[in-house]
Homo-oligomer: A and B are copies of this chain.
């Protein structure tokens, strides 16, 4: 293991000079710098992370807390995580992966031990028990998701309320009056995950404003669950012609079941999904959808966090504006009898 001291000896300078070459915190003559850089390359030197962390009280690590649950659409999480990791690297940070399992203890452990300089939390609940801890520390953090009280916090999220509104508007414009919402699994609502409730709120509010009828049903995803849910929907509201789906695991089952029942999409029934673009374009019908911009969210979270770490930036709630892309699954409502 090559140390800074060895590099210094090899280059014929003092250790501090090497350190300043590395950090750029003091000016170094061109000749010296080149000599040092040469030595570093020749010896294959890598600064020791622990020593660095100890001396500078900075680890250059960002902790990412990712939910462990599997009742939520995993690819989105994965995409965010990868975007976060890639983004962090461009700023010289590495990612420490924490699973939600440990809960608040993980926050304590990480902030207490100086393992990480900052954290990003995913899958934040409306009244998340990790939040008081975050407020009580001076370690920067960014949430992906939106809790009920954002005081003193920085959050990045899709504007799900606007997303809900947008879906309703689109269907309303096409003349649909009776809309069914196929939501996430019931458990998601039960633990008060913000995005699900906010979408619903946006849907309901706009539906009321536009005078539409709205029926919301959570759904576990998969064919069997979807079949049951769909039967109930048509039972209760036979005139339903518009669907909003916010549950990737229910998208394909829904399309298949509609087909099976002889309801054509989009001629008889329109479907708008809230899902990543990839899902929308790979489905059996190219879906009109509002994209969940996972990459963008990950990227933005890192940017804000780095800004905070560098002393720039402040607490802020960033809501990304939803964009609805019209594809083949939505069209004018059928003429009513």
Give the B-binding residues of A (Cβ under 8 A). Answer: 1, 44-54, 57, 59, 61, 64, 66, 68, 70, 74-75, 77-79, 81-82, 85-86, 89, 94-99, 101-102, 108-109, 112-115, 221-223, 249, 252-253, 256, 278, 281-284
Contacts and interface: CB of A to CB of B under 8 A. Distances in A.
Nearest to A45: B112
Nearest to A255: B256
Contacts of A1: 114
Contact of A78 (B48, B77, B96): B77
Given A74-B75, A223-B284, A82 B99 contact: yes
A115 B49 CA distance: 6
Chain A facing B: main interface SS: helix
Given A1-B114, A48-B54, A53-B50, A283 B223 contact: yes
Contact of A82 (B64, B66, B86, B282): B66
Contacts of A70: 79, 278
Contacts of A46: 108-109, 112-113
A177 to B, nearest CB: 30
Nearest to A60: B115
Contacts of A114: 1, 48-50
Contacts of A99: 82, 85-86, 89
B223 A113 contact: no
Given A49-B115, A50-B52, 20 more contacts: A45-B112, A46-B109, A46-B112, A46-B113, A50-B50, A53-B54, A70-B79, A74-B75, A81-B97, A86-B101, A94-B96, A94-B98, A95-B97, A95-B98, A96-B96, A223-B282, A223-B283, A252-B284, A253-B284, A256-B284
